[in-house]
Structure 1
Amino acid sequence: MKTTMKHREKQDKPEACSMQSADEQRLALVNKGKRLSPFYAIFIGILGYLSLGVSSCEQLVQVPMSETEVAMGLREALTVGITNAVLNTSKEDGFFGNSAIKIPFPPDAAGAMQFMENSALLRPLLHEFVKKLNRAAEGAAESARPIFADAIRNMSITDAWNILRGGNNAATNFLRSQTYDQLYAAFRPEILASLNEVGAQRVWSELTGRYNTIAAFTPNLTRVNTDLAHYATTKALDGLFTMVAQEEQKIRQDPVARVTELLRRVFARQ
């Protein structure tokens, strides 16, 4: 009778969440495995490591987050995104070696480009010009960092919630709306200086000068007067925000890209 009552009490007693640490739980699994065959010991050990993070009591309870924590998490996410975007665009071949953001020959001068492509004399200058154009963008990219950082610091809690609950490009769109004019003002002189430094402006003047001389005496050829600094600046900013958007996608979609505990908690709620 006593045995039956003890058995019933054991059945009626609810099973509490284990208070063991992760290491203690892993050790228990390994010890259990030792009493089985070597194969099952290894299997249980691996299974334990993979499942503990999912099955532990802490993971089963969603800890509420304050608005301040959400804002902090979004600031972290944006900081990670802009840091990687600036690093990837400011390095050598950051633009020139990336087909997604490589700056092409100005489309306004498409006729000139086609003419130069067909000229053995001008073709090498054309290819060198495109390379130098991208080098100018790479040289200016670093100037975006403090402007982005300032926008992130001034982000409100409302902004943070809108970004978290917004579309896949919500963070990128926020940064673009808050920083584009400042970035343009910062990039243009940098681009212009870089164009002069890498020789792109000189090559452009030589290219367009030769082309315009020919165009003046050739029917159906239009003289080129493209604002090279404006063109390069807008294309550089387009490329920069393309890279920011790629970083945002990684953080939203790939848990591995959430490099801090706060990022993991915040983006688990989206």
Structure 2
Amino acid sequence: MKKIPSILILVVFINLSCTQQQFSQSLGDLLGGGEPTTEEVGSGLKEALIQGITKGSDKASALDGYFKNPKIKIPFPPETQKVANTLRDIGLGAQVDEFVMTLNRGAEEAAKEAKPVFVSAIKSMTIEDAWNILRGDNDAATQYLKRTTSTQLREKFQPIVHSALEKVSATKHYSDLVSRYNKIPFVKKADPDLDSYATEKAIDGLFVLIAEEELKIRKDPVARTTALLKKVFSQID
């Protein structure tokens, strides 16, 4: 007489001792599936965001992370583009280019400090929001994080950006350029807030990279590097 497979015995036992709903849940768990709990969804989304933040900030903080990435490269401040154009016209194009490079170097330097700021902000996400985010748009988690933490991030990130710009001499380069421009006869004086501009662009760039990582996790099972991510995001496949 053939032995009854142990898995079949366990299935029969579960069926006899559970309601239909409990049976389905238990069988799903037994076979490696099962719908994740609300707590698992919340934990999975936070894990996905932390993974995205880690990879995104690592990319941004690498040499040329901003400067050679056309999606997030920080250009000369648009509101003073006439400053750059005029300076190029009088032979100072190389200095303008050097400033743009140092501006992006400042963002790259600041991105090294971004991860703990973002990770702390993730804690503000409630479990109640988890299912809506999971079943939302491809960048729903990123947009939620951006919507609920941008003010806090800006407050914490600006001094980091300021220090980074000072470290790579971007502020000095900019001051020198604006000073030269303001000495040109008949031009309207320019003096924009470089720290605020660089802060906004640096944060925007990080969110772009985080959204890319979120999309990978949502669309590519290979990017789900833990059992929890696989279980949670399998719900939207």
- TM-score, with length taken from structure 2: 0.83
Residue in structure 1 matched with residue 20 of structure 2 by the alignment: none
CA distance in 2, matches of 1:61, 1:83: 28
Aligned pairs, number: 214
Residue in structure 2 matched with residue 97 of structure 1 by the alignment: 68
* 2:215 corresponds to 1:244: no
Deviation of residue 235 (structure 1)? Answer: 0.6
CA distance in 2, matches of 1:189, 1:166: 34
Residue type at the aligned position of 1:255: P
CA distance in 2, matches of 1:99, 1:264: 32
Following superposition of structure 1 onto structure 2, how do residues 173-184 of structure 1 map, counting pairs within 5 Å? 173-184=143-154
* 2:225 corresponds to 1:259: yes
CA distance in 1, matches of 2:47, 2:5: 33
**Secondary structure in 1 matching 2:36:** coil
Residue in structure 1 matched with residue 128 of structure 2 by the alignment: 158
**CA 1:113 to 1:63, structure 2 compared with 1: closer, same or farther past 3 Å?**
same
* 2:58 corresponds to 1:87: yes
- Give CA deviations for 1:138-186 in whole Å, capped at 9, x if unaligned: 1111332222212323422112112101111110011112221121112
**CA 1:92 to 1:111, structure 2 compared with 1: closer, same or farther past 3 Å?**
same
Deviation of residue 193 (structure 1)? Answer: 1.6
Instruction: From 167, 178, 203, give the equivalent of 1:197.
Output: 167
**CA 1:228 to 1:17, structure 2 compared with 1: closer, same or farther past 3 Å?**
farther
Instruction: From 195, 205, 216, give the equivalent of 1:229.
Output: 195
Residue type at the aligned position of 1:254: D
Please tell me whether the aligned partners of residues 63 and 108 of structure 2 are also in contact (alpha carbons under 8 angstroms): yes
Residue in structure 1 matched with residue 39 of structure 2 by the alignment: 68
Deviation of residue 60 (structure 1)? Answer: 7.6
Deviation of residue 237 (structure 1)? Answer: 0.8
Residue type at the aligned position of 1:149: V
CA distance in 2, matches of 1:90, 1:61: 38
CA distance in 2, matches of 1:98, 1:177: 24
Residue in structure 1 matched with residue 106 of structure 2 by the alignment: 136
Q: Tell which structure's C-alpha radius of gyration is larger.
A: 1
After TM superposition, the structure 1 stretch with the greater mean CA deviation from structure 2, 249-258 or 109-118, is: 109-118
* 2:48 corresponds to 1:77: yes
- Give CA deviations for 1:210-254 in whole Å, capped at 9, x if unaligned: 11100xx23xx3221111111111111110111111111111111
- Give CA deviations for 1:79-116 in whole Å, capped at 9, x if unaligned: 11111111111121111121110000001111111112
Instruction: From 136, 157, 160, give the equivalent of 1:187.
Output: 157
Residue type at the aligned position of 2:230: R
Could you list the runs of 5+ residues in structure 1 that have no partner in the other structure?
1-15, 21-56
Identical amino acids, percent of aligned pairs:
45
**Secondary structure in 1 matching 2:101:** helix
Instruction: From 153, 170, 175, give the equivalent of 2:140.
Output: 170
Please tell me whether the aligned partners of residues 103 and 170 of structure 2 are also in contact (alpha carbons under 8 angstroms): yes
**Secondary structure in 1 matching 2:183:** helix
Deviation of residue 195 (structure 1)? Answer: 1.5
Residue type at the aligned position of 1:213: K
Which structure ranks higher in relative contact order (CA pairs < 8 Å, sequence separation ≥ 6)?
A: 2
